[in-house]
Amino acid sequence: MKYKRILLKLSGEALMGDKNYGIDSSRLQQYANDIKAVHELGVEIAIVIGGGNIFRGVQAGNVGIDRVQGDYMGMLATLINAMALQSSLEQNGMYTRLMSGIKVESVCEPFIRRRAIRHLEKGRIVIFGAGIGNPYFTTDSTASLRAIEIEAEVVLKGTRVDGVYTADPEKDRDAKRYDKISFQEVYEKNLSVMDMTAFTLCQENNLPIIVFDMNKKENLLNLVHGKNVGTLITSK
């Protein structure tokens, strides 16, 4: 087993599966299965999930909603996904805690760093909902920041694409995937991995990122076993 403590970032968009909106139950179940397999190895798991399948702050302007208000709506959207994931993990026999970046006391705990670490040590899966709790940030930034705070060894960014490519693989057929690349090269080649705030946080704190396809069964498990899945981004 290569990692003892991981931060898994799941995108909200991936959660909708083939649907146009909302949550796909089979996708949710697949995530629960994959997470369980890793949890059974004794890996400590923290999760950040996005909200793009429900609402994104940047969409707010299009419908006449103030940007900051829209960002809070986006944070609440991530909380809805986090609650769905929490429920699914518990139905599959895992113990979990949901911690929120904004106060929603009837639903979950507030984020308290030392408490989050204690939950992890006790084998509970910790889900961080509602982002950092501030507008103008993303769930990628949340993933980077929380990973650093809880001293995770790696950020595993699960997406629909199986890594970082020389160009957008959905648009350019000749695009090639990197097995490994440095933070510096990602900057120089202007490749998209995460938004800059999230990316810089990882670089400055020497926290490796792995971009991989979460929709492919057992990718997560293989990654934790140290197999070559997706693209690893490190300092050198």
For binding to ligand UDP (CB under 6 A), which residues are involved?
11-13, 50-52, 56-58, 70-71, 74-75, 77-78, 131-132, 134-135, 137-140, 142
Which is nearer to ligand UDP, 111 or 226 (by Cβ)?
111
Which is nearer to ligand UDP, 52 or 230 (by Cβ)?
52
CB 219 within 8 A of CB 212: yes
Taking the complex as a whole, how short is the minimal distance between the CB of residue 61 and ligand UDP, in angstroms? 11
In DSSP notation, 159-193 reads ESSSS-BSS-TTT-TT--B-SEEEHHHHHHTT--S
- 75 alpha-carbon distance from chain centroid: 14
Taking the complex as a whole, how short is the minimal distance between the CB of residue 207 and ligand UDP, in angstroms? 17
Which is nearer to ligand UDP, 11 or 219 (by Cβ)?
11
Q: Which residues contact 11 (CB under 8 A, 6 or more apart)?
A: 49, 50, 52, 139, 158, 159, 160
On the 0-12 / 13-18 / 19+ scale of CB atoms within 10 A, 42 is: exposed
Which is nearer to ligand UDP, 24 or 180 (by Cβ)?
24
Taking the complex as a whole, how short is the minimal distance between the CB of residue 67 and ligand UDP, in angstroms? 8
Which is nearer to ligand UDP, 135 or 182 (by Cβ)?
135
Taking the complex as a whole, how short is the minimal distance between the CB of residue 85 and ligand UDP, in angstroms? 13
Residue at token pair 């940030």:
137
Taking the complex as a whole, how short is the minimal distance between the CB of residue 233 and ligand UDP, in angstroms? 18
CA angle 99, 105, 107 (to 5 degrees): 70
- 60 alpha-carbon distance from chain centroid: 22
